[in-house]
Structure 1
Amino acid sequence: MSILKYLKESRLPIFIVVILLIVRVVANLTLPLFTSQIVNVGLQQGGIESPIPIVLTVETFKLLEGQFEDAERLKAAYDYDAEQGGYLLIDESQIGAEEMGSALARIRMSDPEGLSEQAAFQQIREEYIELGIDVGKLQNRFILKTGAKMVGVSIVSALSMISVAFFASRSAARFGQRLRKEVFTKVVSFSQAEMDNFSTASLVTRSTNDIQQIQQSFVMILRVVIYAPLMAVGGILRVMN
């Protein structure tokens, strides 16, 4: 444990390394989420993120009125737009996403339970097509937007990795410098009798190679040993959520 006293000057860089490792863990765990969004939302749902349509045809709006227990909430959420030729969403807070998705699925599939989420998004897609909205452009925009987020997160992950390497190496260098200084001071203070107990090669090895090995181990601890449990904890939390 006495070797830990040489880490006092490196407390701030070590703290920065831990923070950067947490940032890297979050970034690496976020990338699969974006990939999932591209597949689920971008491809399967055609870039439509919410089961609450931004616009409805008059026919679908009338059908939805019969699906809601409180049709007044639906009327408060949408307002007719003559130019668009349909009902535009003006207050999303009036209706729930799950409630709207189930209602749209029931309309499309005549399913009393409204269990098909994909049916709801397919219904929304057809609504948009009928009202002249370019669904292909909508899909491409979502994929490009999510892809840009992935690039940004990847850059953050790369920068954090580079920063961790920098601060870890710098901390290890200071750590090794202090050790070498202490070893040299100790060797110089030896009496002739004590010097006779050590060979010159042994003293040189202790001052150079041995400290170098400790320094490299210190870097590995900061870059890998700390990162692994953080990644494990982050993965568990991601699965639980």
Structure 2
Amino acid sequence: MRRILKYFKPFSLLLIAAVALLFVQASADLALPDYMADIVNIGIQQGGVDSPLPTAMSPKTFERISIFMTAEEYADVQAQYTLIESGDSAYLAEYPALADGAIYLLQNVDDETRASLEAILSKPLLMVFGLEQASQSPESAAMLFPDGGFDLAKLPPGMDIFDAMKMMPAEKMTEISTALDERFSALGGEKAIRQAASRAVLAEYETLGMDTESIQRGYILHVGGIMLLISLISAFASITVGLFGAKIAAGVARDLRRDLYERVMHFSGAEFSRFSTASLITRSTNDITQIQTVTAMFVRLMFFAPIIGAGAIIHALDKSTSMWWIIVLAVVLLLSMIGTIFSIAVPKFKLIQKLIDRLNLVARENLVGMMVVRAFGREKHEEKRFDTANVELTDTNLFVNRVFVVIMPFMMLIMNGATMLIIWVGAHQVAQAQMQVGDMMAFMQYAMQVVFAFMMLSMLFITFPRADVSANRVADILETPITIFDPENPKHF
């Protein structure tokens, strides 16, 4: 193909624009699984609460979380919340609990302050929520204190667990806080703690009488709207790249045909003796069509596949670093399959072009010499010649197509096998609170994107040799020196 690269130069701007749009499309496609994970993790599992920082708390909860904070932390939290007195009509519709009592309302805070408050409140909120569940269920208490370090059955009748904790010695309180902290830390890291704390915030919202269904619905619709917008951007980029690729491919093919025709028109008998007429016809039609087809594929896939593949690997490892081997296994199996097919099919590509030349030659000889063939009664012989050339070309094409037809079933087998492995391994990690369900689903999609990226590259590399053969055949014509040409200053008679 490098022998005809100069024909791509007039389309450099279109090619640059196509590559830029491919970056946009790849970025959009890579963002969608993340948003899907957010819908599952936050929209469904957390009820649409995307932050462990509650916008409102009851005075009872506000007092209880102070048990698990230092005085400095409690002061920082208290400084960012405003006490709204009972019956305030400005907030009553959103917070129905105001009808019965006051609430603490979060002030407008910047991102840095919000992050600081989230870090302070995540575990205290989770501890309060866990103890509230434990006080209502002996099973929950046993799970929270598996070593029996704090027996809720020993509390005096009617005594609140939090009132009891306030009366405990500092050493005992530190021991319980440490035990709870270790218990919650075993959930699987900051992400799991953040998710569990968000559920505690959701429970607090329900206590305040807030419309939690509206919160969940609003979050899902918001993220879904973003996904729809990203999908439209991706579709626009894909359509535009396809248009640019078609223009580049058609333009290159047009210029090649024009120059090839002009070159052949200046051929003398010496040049025609090197290339048969049938071969010239094949090179100006079938070979240039092969170049045009692969050029369109090249513009679309050669840049997109590496971008989407590399990006998907990075995003997948961000979701889970322990399942990288599944992606590697799928890619190795895919490349092994493609390599085998490549070694079998590629040698046939050169043969196909020669067989097309042969078929054109036989057909042309038969048409040109039709009267002679009929005069000598050689119709059966010519039919046999054509049938032989036709059968050879057909058999070769069938062989190549039969080799390629196994790609899709094997690819689906590899993809489905990888999906099963991801679900199997991911389910165990979800059960151990090491991974969220949405992250597992996103990892699955990223793994499929990686497989598809390698698949696209492999298909491009398989079809490229055939186009390279065609490009060399066309370049042979374009680079053939003319032995007889018109003088620059012809003499007139």
TM-score by length of 1: 0.93
Greater mean deviation of Cα atoms: 35-44 or 121-130: 121-130
The aligned residue for residue 262 of structure 2 is: 185
1:127: how far off? 1.6
Task: Name the SS for the 2:57 alignment partner.
Answer: strand
The aligned residue for residue 112 of structure 1 is: 180
Aligned residues: 241
- 8 A contact 1:78–1:91 mirrored in 2: no
1:240: how far off? 4.4
In structure 2, what residue type is equivalent to 1:136?
E
Mapping of 1:20-169 within 5 angstroms? 20-69=21-70, 70=72, 71-82=74-85, 83=88, 84=98, 85-92=102-109, 93=113, 95-110=116-131, 112-113=180-181, 114-115=184-185, 117=193, 118-169=195-246
Task: Name the SS for the 1:48 alignment partner.
Answer: coil
- 8 A contact 2:7–2:256 mirrored in 1: yes
Greater mean deviation of Cα atoms: 52-61 or 20-29: 20-29
Mapping of 1:215-226 within 5 angstroms? 215-226=292-303
Alpha-carbon distance in structure 1 between the residues aligned to 2:199 and 2:37: 19
TM-score by length of 2: 0.47
Where relative contact order (Cα < 8 A, 6+ residues apart) is larger, the structure is: 1
Task: Name the SS for the 2:180 alignment partner.
Answer: coil
Alpha-carbon distance in structure 1 between the residues aligned to 2:66 and 2:80: 12
Alpha-carbon distance in structure 2 between the residues aligned to 1:194 and 1:125: 83
1:64: how far off? 2.0
In structure 2, what residue type is equivalent to 1:112?
L
**CA-to-partner distance for each residue in 1:88-107, whole Å, 9 max, x for gaps?**
11154163323311110111
**CA-to-partner distance for each residue in 1:59-83, whole Å, 9 max, x for gaps?**
1111222322212101111111112
- 8 A contact 2:77–2:117 mirrored in 1: no
The aligned residue for residue 313 of structure 2 is: 236
- 8 A contact 1:65–1:74 mirrored in 2: no
1:133: how far off? 0.9
Gaps of 5+ in 1: none
Alpha-carbon distance in structure 2 between the residues aligned to 1:164 and 1:108: 52
Task: Name the SS for the 1:79 alignment partner.
Answer: strand
| Consecutive aligned runs of 4 or more in structure 1 exceeding 6 Å deviation | none
Distance 1:96 1:240, change over 3 A: farther
1:14: how far off? 0.9
Alpha-carbon distance in structure 2 between the residues aligned to 1:13 and 1:96: 50
Gaps of 5+ in 2: 89-97, 132-178, 188-192, 319-493
In structure 1, what residue type is equivalent to 2:9?
K
1:237: how far off? 2.4
Alpha-carbon distance in structure 2 between the residues aligned to 1:175 and 1:65: 73
- 8 A contact 1:7–1:175 mirrored in 2: yes
Task: Name the SS for the 1:87 alignment partner.
Answer: strand
Q: Which of the numbers 248, 257, 260 marks the counterpart of 1:171?
A: 248
Alpha-carbon distance in structure 1 between the residues aligned to 2:246 and 2:121: 55
Answer yes or no: is 1:196 the counterpart of 2:213.
no
Larger radius of gyration: 2
**CA-to-partner distance for each residue in 1:111-133, whole Å, 9 max, x for gaps?**
62143534422321122122221
- 8 A contact 1:108–1:119 mirrored in 2: no
CA RMSD of aligned residues (A): 1.7
